[in-house]
Amino acid sequence: MALRLGDEAPNFTANTTQGEINFHEWKGDSWAILFSHPKDFTPVCTTELGYTAKLADRFAGKNTKVLAVSVDSVEDHNAWTGDIEETQGVAVNFPIIGDTSREVAELYDMIHPNELATLTVRSVFIVGPDNKVKLTLTYPASTGRNFDEIDRVLDSLQLTAERPVATPVNWTPGDDVIISPALSDEEATEKFGEFVTHKPYLRTTTL
């Protein structure tokens, strides 16, 4: 069955471009973004991995590790990353799993045969420090993902893990947040000071 939010992210040991990795050990108590791409030496994937490499410092600053996977070999990944550096202007600075056995692809249900017979689709899993799945996302081969959006979701996940708030539509860091309906007005005042009550169930505050 497909992984669902709140499920434990399955552990695995895999060969990567940075050596063998045991996922849970490698991740430790960080957050992790595990994402699949369909195939090395393909155009959309080349842009995605290049852009993700550009964001790697930002993710590291958020205690978040990045791990890519496809069913290609580590040797192919190593050959391809030269092309990514050449065309995207950035060295790939995170490990890429060579999942030729499809162990990771199957554990995370990344092969959707009615979309691509034998290749992984564009899956994303954000995994929390507790190793639980916090976000799943699936895109087809033809559509490159928006990694700025993945970064935005990460910001929301990290904020809402720490504070009794939720983030509204199109929220970005610095915008007002929604106070958890579980908090009474008295508790909300205690935690946030001033807030605006638009409806009893919709109260916002500036952090």
Q: Pairing between strand 165-166 and 96-98? A: unpaired
Catalytic residue among 57, 83, 109, 130: 130
Does 44 interact with ligand BEZ (rule: CB under 6 A)? yes
> Which has the closest alpha carbon to 7: 161, 103, 168, 136?
136
Binding test (CB under 6 A) with ligand BEZ, winner from 45, 71, 92, 177 = 45
Other Cβ atoms closer than 10 A to 43: 9
Binding status of residue 200 toward ligand BEZ by CB under 6 A: no
First to last CA, the chain: 39
Options 19, 43, 113, 200; binder of ligand BEZ; rule CB under 6 A: 43
- 138 belongs to the binding site for ligand BEZ (CB under 6 A): no
Read off the DSSP letter of residue 202: E
84 lines the binding site for ligand BEZ (CB under 6 A): no
Helix axes 74-88, 43-61, angle to 10 degrees: 80
Stretch that binds ligand BEZ, among 18-26, 40-48, 127-135, 157-165 (CB under 6 A): 40-48
Nearest distance from C-beta of residue 26 to ligand BEZ, angstroms: 26
User: Contact 111/121 with Cβ under 8 angstroms?
Assistant: yes
Contact residues toward ligand BEZ (CB under 6 A) are: 38-39, 42-45, 141
